[in-house]
Each structure stands twice: as C-alpha cells, then as structure tokens.
Amino acid sequence: MSESLGAPRHEVCNSGTPHTTTRVQRLKLSNVKGVPLPSSICAIFDKTEKFQAKGDDVLIATYPKAGTTWMIEIVDSIRQGGITKEIKTIPSHERAPYLEFNGLNVISTGLDLLEAMPSPRLVKTHLPFQLVPQSFWDKGCKVIYVARNAKDVLVSFYFFHKMNVRLPETGTWDDFIESFLSGNVAFGSWFDHVTGWWDVREKHQILYVFYEDILQDPMREVERVAHFLGHTLDKVTIQEIVKHTAFDMMKDNPMTNASIFPTSILDLSISPFMRKGQVGDWKNYFTVAQNERFEEEYRRRMAETSLRFRTEL
C-alpha cells in the first residue's frame, strides 16, 4: 500500500452530496444488448447500428475519460500533416464526430455530422467492441483504441458526471466506485471494454495505445500512430504536433477544452473538461480502504488477461 494514500483530500469527491441541477433533466441509463448507455444514445441506436463506414474512415475508440479528445487532436494533426487552419478553427467534435451521440436537438447528432462530412472522416466512439457498427469491420477501417488505467479513469469519470449535467447522478464517491466496479455506468464495465478491445486487436486493424505511454513519451507515441496510419512525418512536424497536443495547450484551446458547449450540456464551472491530465491523480481521492476494495476486484476481473496498466509513472 502506498504511503501517500490516506484520507481523501478533495472535498467534492467525498462530500457525499450529489450535485443536482435544476436546469436539465439528468438522463437515465438504458441497455443495448446488455450494455448500459445513456437513454438518449439507446433511443437512436437502431440508426447507429446501420451506420455505413467508408474504407478511409479512422475510428478512435475509448472507454470514456481515457484520452479521447487528446487522441483526436493527435490523429487529426497527423492526417493533416501539421497544425492547419482547420485544426485551429474547427471544434474537435466537428472534426471527429461522436458516432452514437444524440444531442437531443440542442446540438447535432454524431450521425448527422458524419453524413455531412467529407472524406476522409475521423469518427469517435465510446462503444464496446461488440456494439461497433459492422460496416467498420466489413470496410477494414483502421481503429485506434486508447486505454487508460482504471483508477484515473474512475476519478476523471466521477468529475465528468458532475459537470456533464445529462449523465446520471453519481451518488457519493463510495457509491460511484461501486457503480464503476459493477459496470453500472454509461458504456458499461471498464473491465469488459478494455479487455474486449484487447482481445480482438489482432483480428482487425486496431492500434491499442495507452494514455500513460503518450504522457511518458509523446514523440514516440505520435510517431507510432502516424506509422500505423501510413504517414511519414518529419521530426519538426512531430514536435509541432506534440507541442499543440500538450495538456496545457489543449486546456487553453477553445477548440478542444469544451468551452463552446452550452452549460445545459457541460457545465465547466463545476469541473473543467481538461481537468488535470495526469497519471496517478487517483491517489488524491482513494482512501486506503477504497484502494484495497478496488484492488481485490481488479485482481479478480483481470486474472485471465495479459493486458497490463500502469497507475503511476
């Protein structure tokens, strides 16, 4: 047990008082083929399933809070050969539409944005492997899956629930840990998600990338992604991409920091979208008892897989 674990230091995380909002009705979760998804996403899932991918679409798939926005910025910069005017002026969610997203008439659905988008398209999804539309596999699309260690995802997801005023209430921090461990959260079990994609990575064109690796050595990981996508970039361009996609840059960039979303969707006054961008932030929130409980379940759920994560650098 790490010495640095102790009483939680963050008030919000441990207040036990769920945030409520009077402005918007928080959504409930419903099931699609046994996977809990926000009810808005379930409502249009029959259309999502029929999505027709094109051969040059690139799919970025993640469990929520694994670094999706970061990878979108990296891949878009690679595909455009550097930091172009489009990258500087078009919001991330328009450059890489969120496939299954239903904006409930406040903002466009992912499907509508994708329909209107010229090729080559960049597509974002949080779906587990088994729910991804079949056309991606029929067309042999390239997929980049980003995975992040469960403890940092859990903390990040907790704060994201507070500020994404359409996600269900979290309950207390303790409640949310239990919901996460049992997979009763949006997009289901983290364990099933990361292992499901891991198990099929060699059956399709899937590059499996770890958040912790990008943070540790962004030059190497950007180069690896570029190579996978069939791009050769010179060192100066890679350096430019690494600089543009660093946490502090993305935090201040309105195209990536979610500040353009209405507060009826994301309320940044509750928690920033670009929150900390670190490995090991979980230590500031897990008590010793919570960590023991988590580790026990983690060992049980990860016993059969070769997939390994780092929870500190």
Give catalytic residue positions.
126
Contact 37, 31 (CB under 8 A): yes
CA end-to-end span of the chain, whole Å?
Answer: 16
Q: Decide: is 281 part of the binding site for ligand A3P (CB under 6 A).
A: yes
Which residue of 43, 277, 284, 287 would you call a contact of ligand A3P, by CB under 6 A? 277
Show the tokens assigned to 35.
Answer: 């996977």
In DSSP terms, which residues pair with 206 in a beta bridge?
Answer: 143
- Which of these ranges, 13-21, 106-114, 219-227, 272-280, lies near ligand A3P under the rule CB under 6 A? 272-280
Question: What x/- string results for residues 240 through 259 when contact with ligand A3P is judged by CB under 6 A?
Answer: -----xxx--x---------
Residues 53-112 that bind ligand A3P (CB under 6 A): 62, 64-70
HEC-encoded secondary structure of 148-183: CCHHHHHHHHHHHHHHECCCCCCCCHHHHHHHHHHC
Q: Give the 3-state secondary structure percentages of the chain, helix then strand then coil, rounded to 5.
A: 45, 10, 45
Shortest CB 26 distance to ligand A3P, Å: 18
Contact assessment for residue 86 and residue 95, using Cβ atoms and an 8 Å cutoff: yes
Q: Report 137-156 residues binding ligand A3P (CB under 6 A).
A: 152, 156
Angle formed at CA 18 by CA 16 and CA 19, multiple of 5 degrees: 140
- Among residues 32 and 250, whose Cβ is nearest to ligand A3P? 250
Closer residue to ligand A3P (CB): 159 or 191: 159
Contact code string over 20-59 relative to ligand A3P, x by CB under 6 A:
----------------------------------------
Nearer to ligand A3P, 8 or 277 (CB): 277
Separation of alpha carbons 50 and 133, rounded Å: 6
Closest contact distance (angstroms) between CB of 151 and ligand A3P is 10
Residue 176 CA to residue 179 CA, distance in Å, equals 5
Binding site for ligand A3P (CB under 6 A): 62, 64-70, 152, 156, 159, 215, 245-247, 250, 274-277, 281
